[in-house]
Chain A
Amino acid sequence: MSGKSFFVDLTKCTACRGCQVACKQWKKLPGEKTRNTGSHQNPPDLSDVTLRVVRFSEKEIGGKMHWFFLPDQCRHCLDAPCKSGATLPDSIIVDPDTGAVIYNEKTAKESAEAIRSSCPYNIPRVNKKTKVISKCDMCNDRVKAGKLPACVQSCPTGTMNFGDRDAMLALAKKALAEAKAKYPDAQLVDEESVRVIFLTQDKPGLYAKNLMADAGPTGPRLYTRQEALASLARPFRAFLG
């Protein structure tokens, strides 16, 4: 059983933000009080109530305008580095059927900062008041009931795909081959290590700093990129035991 995965084809994302709202609708998460700061990316970042956010990045390359869109979310790593930031064995659980990395009531007992800083993708967010740490749970409830995650169902263009990991990997490889014709620099991001496989049309860094696993400790992180990837590379089956 290799669980589930997302395949996210960024060549097709229009940043309609249907996924950003569909996530909040399903989970009934509140909207945030924001201001326009000169960008369409809003809320400006992930938060404990914004578990996915569409990142907007404008780049002019060789005189040609590009607008890169990244619906950012937890990658549900095959061997989740955030587990290394936890002290209790079951405060971060992995659903054996789907592979969803799920925070639960015991996660609250952990050091939120330790968990947060161990994520190579800078995803988990801590509620300032309650110190509760949050992130995407793969809509594990929906998935177990045979539905698509809310974000995937809401996607109009085929950017967000979800299914058995093997099928998603195959889809990703096929899509990469097709994308190469139009975008020679297209690539898959960390596809062997994560359950949210992004296909970029250009270098991942053009989308956002943390689209690819963090290149090195930029803050009080427990993991370097090398360490994180070494950890990620462990065979998934072995991890599940």
Chain B
Amino acid sequence: MTNHWIDLKNSDCILIMGSNAAENHPISFKWVTKAQEKGAKVIHVDPRFTRTSAKSDIYAPLRSGSDIAFLGGLINYILSNDLAFKEYVLNATNASFIVGSDFDFKDGMFSGFDEATHKYDKSKWKFALDEKGVPQRDMTLQNPRCVYQLLKKHYSRYSVKNAVDMTGTPEDKLLEVYKTYAATNKPDRAGTVMYAMGWTQHTVGVQNIRSMSIVQMLLGNMGVAGGGVNALRGESNVQGSTDQALLFHIIPGYMPTPTTAQPAIADYLKLVAPVSNDPKSMNWKKHYPKYAVSLIKSFYKNAEPAVGYDWMPKLDAGQNASWLVLFDEMLKGKFKGFFAWGMNPAVSGANSNKTREGLTKLDWLVNVNIFDNETGSFWQGPGMDPKKIKTEVFMLPCSVSVEKEGSITNSGRWMQWRQQGPKPLGDSRPDGEIMFELAQKVRELYKKEGGVFPEPVLGLNWEDMGGEHGFDVHKTAKLINGYYLKDVEVKQPDGSMKVFKAGTQVAAFPALRDDGSTCSGNWIYCGSYVDSDPAKGNRSAKRSKEQTPAQAAVGLFPNWSWSWPVNRRVIYNRASVDATGKPYAPQKPILAWNGKGWDIDVVDGGGNPGTVHPFIMQQHGMAALYGPGLNDGPFPEYYEPLDCPVSEHPYSKVLHNPTALTFKGEKRAVCDPRFPFVCTTYRVTEHWQTGLMTRYQPWLLEAEPQMFCEMSEELAQLRGIKNGEKVWLENERGKLWAIAIVTKRFKPFIVQGNIVHEVGIPWHFGWRFPKDGGDSANLLSPSVGDPNTGIPETKAFMVNVSKAKKA
């Protein structure tokens, strides 16, 4: 989230699309309801009428996978009715930038496509630069090659008729949403969006969100109270685990994983630090070399940074090691050993049969969990013969959250410290203890026996993560914040010199250094643990509600927990004020210039008003209406899901995203009469993710005891299905039973004049427990993914539904 949960109350219009907030983030509705009580409009756009729709002022149905038609139509509506917030668009976005002459777009394809690799050459999409290397701008926005005009041209095809044709949304509902949301274009009004996996789990996932980001930029809704682009993250610490880079493509703090294209540290530091010659662009990433070196020192504090860099594993340039690739490689036998640590991929991964088959190819599997699950017990699952499966399996019991101490980061970037309640049950142990001890055992083996390239194994800084008594969560938190490795003398603003002694915690990331004299495990967390005494230094444990009246008015709570970066509660907040530092929304300011400094929130960037472009993390300081860095084009373009019920669409001749992540052998159902119905997946309030942490609780299982399939009365009639009866869902990938919930809340869509039925299934069930609960929705979902993130397209695919012969 660019903003945070409480900030929802400051909104004038809340668009809930690609999420079902009332059901899946129920407490968010505390703040949605507060906004509504003050007159805000709440809009829900979703294939199915849900508990969220029931509380919304406007509900608009939309066929799964057609979001860009809907949102592209909204962009067109704003532009063709001249509703953009001009001052904002001019000063805070790249609308005025001139795009280079190599950029082109024709019939669904951007320039630079390579048919052989299915990839674009993104160098074709660069901005036209002036002699200083700064993008050329046209402040009148009239130049046909400026972003604003290209945007207008691109979305001129996104008519209301096309949107209605592809989404199945009734025209009056579509226009009501457009009109209501576009009314947040006034400087003092804010619209926000709450989205989740309903937008991301598509082969156009990133572009779904880009579409809405463009809307937010045009309306001046980014960086303001009650605005922003808010991803409702689904796991208690999925924000933190992403920040800490448990992902192949990044290392902690969102720096790219080193590849063979950066053989030496100098190459890497050059890669991560973009250059801007625009004096008003802070270009914050220019500081990344300090963060990268401090990160390497946090890993290997006794090694020179260049050596530590050499010890970091490198991807082959362009290598994709993301989830779907990982399981594809597993199936091919690439891996001998595999850790499923606090995860249940046999249920959560797309195309479960493929995932489960992959597990049989392993020599060994370490499964760390609270409960026995479908992953650890895969060898005794449906269709498996244990006697033929070689995989050695270790199932290690870990503690539940209330049994351990440590921090987690919520969707609004609040880092909150948990205290320990009861001790771990039975032989269960906190994850940190398990990994610490395992690592020591591995090190002992390397010490004793030697081995291949032992230096990083032996050199890793475990001493700052634990000691004699095992894993030490406070020590690790201090390492993530970072400390001085040597005495460092620093010039203070008043000209005096101050010495920071070795071992002192670093106060905030501007103090990090690139000479190896500081370490920091994650620069965005630098400032979270600033004194070695936990009582003084551990800011995530703060529980004070003290705040100024202005902070209280917008619900900032700056002294409750700590928020990255630097306790800033709304990122890009600089965009909420004009060039003189005056808030655009004086009735709910989050930032204001008092003549000497900034009040309310921690200002993004610093400096006096009007001296800094507001989007400091962007090379050119401007929000990206035109985004030349993505793999599938600088503007979102409409493509159908890879499994889809239509053979063409009105936007171009290109049916699917030409750059989508696909695998050999993955079958697609396009207008396949065997699989005529769109199927989507979702969650319910009472279960969570694979259901492992909810299926075992009778209080939750009694409320949602079994796999179900929601469908319209029309579809049920077509297939002779009655409410509560057992049905089969099936496609090329798998087969699954469910209990039919026949409901008026699902309606058939009229798509290009034809009736298209959609059904929906939750993905919380698994064969292991309860025995009559059903199995994973992912038995049916395809292993195809977004070209930028690799996220699987689990929100829109095709199935057949039939009544089960026997109950």
Are A14 and B53 touching (Cβ within 8 A)? no
Given A42-B705, A67-B49, A14:B698 Cβ within 8 A: no
Known: A38-B742, A40-B741. A156 touches B29 (CB 8 A): yes
Q: What is the bound-complex CA distance between A34 and B698, given in angstroms?
A: 10
B20 CB → nearest A CB, Å: 11
Chain A residues, Cβ within 8 Å of B30: 156-158
Please tell me if the beta carbons of A157 and B743 are within 8 angstroms of each other in the complex.
no
CB-contacts of B738-781 with A (<8 A): 739-745, 772
Q: Contact: B51 with A14, CB < 8 Å?
A: yes
A31 neighbours in B (Cβ, 8 Å):
697-702
In the bound complex, CA of A18 to CA of B685 (Å)? 9
| CB of A157 to closest CB in B, whole Å | 5
Instruction: Check if A17 is an interface residue, CB within 8 A of chain B.
Output: yes
Task: Decide yes or no whether B23 CB sits under 8 A from chain A.
Answer: yes
Contact: A67 with B706, CB < 8 Å? Answer: no
A10-55 contacts to B (CB < 8 Å)? 12, 14-18, 20-21, 24-25, 30-40, 42-43, 50
> How many chain A residues touch B (Cβ–Cβ < 8 Å)?
34
| Cα distance A16–B698 in the bound complex, in angstroms | 16
The reply to whether B54 and A69 form a contact with Cβ atoms under 8 Å apart is yes
| Given A31-B697, A156-B27, A156-B30: A43 in contact with B55 (beta carbons within 8 A) | no
Within 8 A of B (CB), among A47-93: 50, 58, 60, 65-69
Q: Are A157 and B49 in contact (CB under 8 A)?
A: no
Tell me whether B29 and A34 are in contact (CB under 8 A): no
A67 touches B26 (CB 8 A): no
**A37 touching B685 in the complex, CB below 8 Å, given contacts A18-B26, A21-B700, A67-B51:** no
Say yes or no: B51 contacts A58, CB within 8 Å: no
Closest chain B residue to A42 by CB distance? B703
How many Å lie between the Cα of A213 and that of B707 in the bound state? 36
| Contact (Cβ within 8 A) A67 B53 | yes
State how many residues of chain B have any CB contact under 8 Å with chain A.
40
Interface residues in B50-64 by Cβ distance below 8 A to A read 51-55, 59
Please measure, in the bound complex, the distance between the C-alpha atom of A162 and the C-alpha atom of B744, giving whole angstroms.
Answer: 34
How many whole Å from B795's CB to the nearest CB in chain A? Answer: 21
Is the beta-carbon distance between B702 and A42 smaller than 8 angstroms? yes
The answer to whether the Cβ of B708 comes within 8 Å of any Cβ in the partner chain is yes
Cβ–Cβ contact A14 & B55, under 8 A: yes
**Complex: A33 Cα to B706 Cα, angstroms:** 11
* A31-B699, A42-B702 given; A158·B54 CB < 8 A: no
Instruction: Tell me the bound Cα distance from A167 to B723 in angstroms.
Output: 44
Docked complex Cα distance between A152 and B555 (Å): 23
Known: A12-B33, A31-B698, A157-B30. A17 touches B705 (CB 8 A): no
Q: Of residues 664 to 711 in B, which have CB atoms within 8 Å of A's CB atoms?
A: 684-686, 697-708
Taking CB atoms, residues of chain A closer than 8 Å to B55 are: 12, 14
Q: Mark B723-749 against chain A: 1 for CB-CB distance below 8 A, else 0.
A: 111000000000000011111110000
Q: A65 to B685, alpha carbons, bound, how many Å?
A: 21
**In the complex, what residue of chain B is closest to A58 when comparing beta carbons?**
B744
- With both chains docked as a complex, state the minimum distance between the C-beta of B48 and any C-beta of chain A, in angstroms: 10
CB-CB nearest in chain A for B27: A156
Question: Which of A148-205 touch B at CB < 8 Å?
Answer: 156-158
For residue B738, which residue of chain A has the nearest CB? A36
User: Which of these, A14, A30, A65, A156, contacts B745 with CB under 8 Å?
Assistant: A65
Give the Cβ gap from A125 to chain B, nearest Cβ, in Å.
15
How far apart are the CA atoms of A232 and B117 in the complex, in Å?
Answer: 78
User: How far does the Cβ of A13 sit from chain B's closest Cβ, in whole Å?
Assistant: 8
Contact with A along B23-52 (1 / 0, CB 8 A): 100110110010000000000000001011
- Provide the residues of chain B in CB contact with A68, threshold 8 Å: 54
Q: For residue A34, which residues in chain B have a CB less than 8 angstroms away from its CB?
A: 701-703, 705
CA distance A33 to B723 in the complex (A): 20
Is the beta-carbon distance between A14 and B26 smaller than 8 angstroms? yes
Known A-B contacts A16-B23, A65-B49, A157-B29; A21 and B742 likewise in contact (beta carbons under 8 Å): no
CA distance A18 to B23 in the complex (A): 11
Residues of A within 8 A of B33 (CB): 12, 156-158
Task: Determine whether the beta carbon of B698 is less than 8 Å from that of A65.
Answer: no
CB distance from B631 to the nearest CB of A (A): 38
Instruction: List the A side residues contacting B740 at CB < 8 Å.
Output: 38
C-alpha spacing A133/B725, complex, angstroms: 33
Residues of chain B within 8 A (CB-CB) of A17 are 685-686, 703
Q: How far does the Cβ of A106 sit from chain B's closest Cβ, in whole Å?
A: 30
Name A159's closest neighbour in chain B (CB-CB). Answer: B33
**Which residues in window 13-28 of B have CB below 8 A to A?**
22-23, 26-27
Closest to A44 in B: B702
Q: Provided the pairs A21-B699, A25-B699, A158-B33 are in contact, do residues A36 and B704 lie with their beta carbons within 8 angstroms?
A: yes
Decide if A65 touches B686 in the complex (CB within 8 Å): no
Q: Write out the residue numbers on chain A whose beta carbons fall within 8 Å of the beta carbon of B705.
A: 33-36, 42
Bound-state CA distance A33–B59 (Å) is 35
B720 CB → nearest A CB, Å: 15
How far does the Cβ of B705 sit from chain A's closest Cβ, in whole Å? 5
A30 neighbours in B (Cβ, 8 Å): 698
Among B22, B49, B686, B739, point to the contact of A14 (Cβ < 8 A). B22
Contacting residues of chain B (237-275) with chain A, CB-CB under 8 angstroms? none
In the complex, residue of chain A having the shortest beta-carbon distance to the beta carbon of B59: A65
For B698, the closest partner residue in chain A by CB is A31
* Nearest A-chain residue to B52, judged by Cβ: A14
How long is the Cα–Cα vector from A135 to B30 in the complex, in angstroms?
Answer: 28
- B residues in contact with A25, CB < 8 Å: 699
Closest to B21 in A: A14
Say whether, besides A30-B698, A31-B701, A38-B739, A156 and B706 are in contact (CB < 8 Å). Answer: no
Chain B residue with the shortest CB-CB distance to A182: B57
Q: Is the CB of B685 within 8 A of A67?
A: no
Name the distance in Å between B211's Cβ and chain A's nearest Cβ. Answer: 27
In the assembly, what is the distance between CA of A5 and CA of B739, in Å? 40
Identity of the chain B residue whose Cβ is nearest the Cβ of A11 in the assembled complex: B55
Interface centre among A16, A18, A60 (most CB of B within 10 A): A16
CB distance from A181 to the nearest CB of B (A): 10
Question: Which A131-158 residues sit within 8 Å CB-CB of chain B?
Answer: 156-158
Q: Determine the distance from Cα of A181 to Cα of B683 in the docked complex, in whole angstroms.
A: 33
Contact B26 A16 (CB under 8 A): yes
| A67 and B54 contact, CB distance less than 8 A | yes
B741 and A16 contact, CB distance less than 8 A: no
Are B743 and A58 within 8 A (Cβ)?
A: yes
Q: Which residues of A contact B26 (CB under 8 A)?
A: 14, 16, 18, 156
Partner of A33, one of B22, B27, B702: B702
Complex alpha-carbon distance, A15 and B745, angstroms: 16
CB contacts (< 8 Å) of A37 on chain B: these are 724, 739
Further contacts, 8 of them, CB under 8 A, given A31-B698, A35-B705, A65-B53: A14-B51, A32-B698, A38-B724, A38-B740, A40-B703, A156-B26, A157-B29, A158-B30
A selection of 17 A-B contacts at a CB cut-off of 8 Å is: A14-B23, A14-B52, A16-B26, A16-B29, A16-B685, A21-B699, A31-B697, A35-B772, A38-B740, A38-B742, A40-B684, A58-B744, A65-B49, A66-B54, A67-B51, A67-B745, A68-B54
**8 nearest A-B pairs in the assembled complex, by CB-CB distance:** A31-B698, A38-B724, A38-B723, A16-B26, A67-B54, A36-B706, A14-B22, A36-B739
Give chain B's interface residues, CB within 8 Å of chain A.
Answer: 22-23, 26-27, 29-30, 33, 49, 51-55, 59, 684-686, 697-708, 723-725, 739-745, 772
